[in-house]
Amino acid sequence: MYKETIQTASSKMDKTIAVVQKDLNTLRAGRANPQILDKITVDYYGTPTALNQVGNISSPEPRMLVIAPWEPKMIGPIEKAIQKSDIGINPSNDGKVIRLVVPELNEERRKELCKKVRKQVEEGKVAIRSIRRDAMEAIKKMKKDSVITEDDQKKAEEELQKVTDNHIKEMDKVGSDKEKEIMSI
């Protein structure tokens, strides 16, 4: 009975880690990564549309991204959207494609990005702990409603704690991997 509660909590924790990992992928780490453009939306005929839906994004060189819009008249709106975003890269266009040269990160900017990574990882851990708390309450309610015994409750709480600890470790690993990527020159 309580195993379903633990499985549900575990899958929610997995999703939390995936969300944090996706957010961390949008941080630029000195090399050109098309995922840094994932959060940018472009005004496409009055509709906010993801940048990767209005053009092809490629990385021909390690520190350059090229955006080839499917419609030439989209160059202006794409350029404006990139300038408004917080990625800190100025676009340049030749009338057909937009080029983004990813600048080298200086030491100060690397440290700032690492702080951002730690903050996002900590928010992810808080979310995981919140999932654990909700599952604990569900287990206590099962005991109160006499669905499970006291021994089952103890076993369930221990299992849930192990699952939580594993997910917290995984979240730490995701954060430390991203920090290594940012700090490597």
Residue-wise pLDDT tens digits, 124-179: 999 999 999 999 999 999 888 888 888 988 999 999 999 999 999 999 999 998 88
Please tell me the total count of domains within the chain. Answer: 2
- In terms of residue numbers, what domain contains 56? 34-101
How far apart are alpha carbons 55 and 64 in whole angstroms?
A: 16
Is-above-0.75 flag for pTM?
A: no
Percent of the chain residues past pLDDT 70, beyond the cut: 97
Do 96 and 147 fall into the same domain?
no
Residue 116, both tokens:
């951002």
How many CB atoms within 10 Å of residue 6? Answer: 20
CATH code, domain carrying 55: 3.30.1360.40
Rounded distance between C-alpha atoms, residue 112 and residue 109, angstroms: 5
pLDDT tens per residue, range 23-45: 887 776 666 777 777 778 888 88
Which residue among 101, 116, 131 closes a domain? Answer: 101
Please identify, among 54, 70, 101, the residue that sits at the C-terminal boundary of a domain: 101
- Integer CA distances (angstroms), 1 to 145, 159, 168, 177, in order: 13, 13, 25, 37
118 and 172, same structural domain?
Answer: yes
Q: Is 68 helix (H, G, I), strand (E, B) or coil?
A: strand
